[in-house]
Amino acid sequence: MIYVTDTHPLVFWASDRKNRLGKRARRIFQEAESGKHSIAVPIMVLEETARLIEKKVVQLSIPFRRWAEELDRSANFQVQSYTIEILLESVSLAAIRDPP
């Protein structure tokens, strides 16, 4: 199965604050790391993560650039570009108030 993550769940997972995740989210990330699932990571999530690190709201154990490159190379996480198709689909999702 393919899941999509938002910024905070990914940051909680990556910064060893896994206890901030709900049980289901924690299980999905664990199963993704073991290869059972894939997690799509919108490029906007990485951009927001970089800003949070810049503002010292979030701290990773390795530099952001290295972390993002490793995430991009991972078979279990798929960094997704922001395309016109994604934009058009996102505007049709009225329940989602946060455009990115």
Q: How far apart are CA 41 and CA 46, in angstroms?
A: 8
Listed by start position, the domains of the chain span 2-91
- Report the pLDDT value the prediction gives residue 88, as an integer from 0 to 100: 82
Digits of tens for pLDDT over the chain (100 positions)? Answer: 999 999 999 999 998 899 999 999 999 999 999 999 999 999 999 999 999 999 999 999 999 999 999 999 999 999 998 888 877 877 777 666 665 5
Q: Where are the alpha helices (DSSP H) in 39-83?
A: 43-54, 64-73
- Report the pLDDT value the prediction gives residue 92, as an integer from 0 to 100: 76
Q: How far apart are CA 85 and CA 22, in angstroms?
A: 30
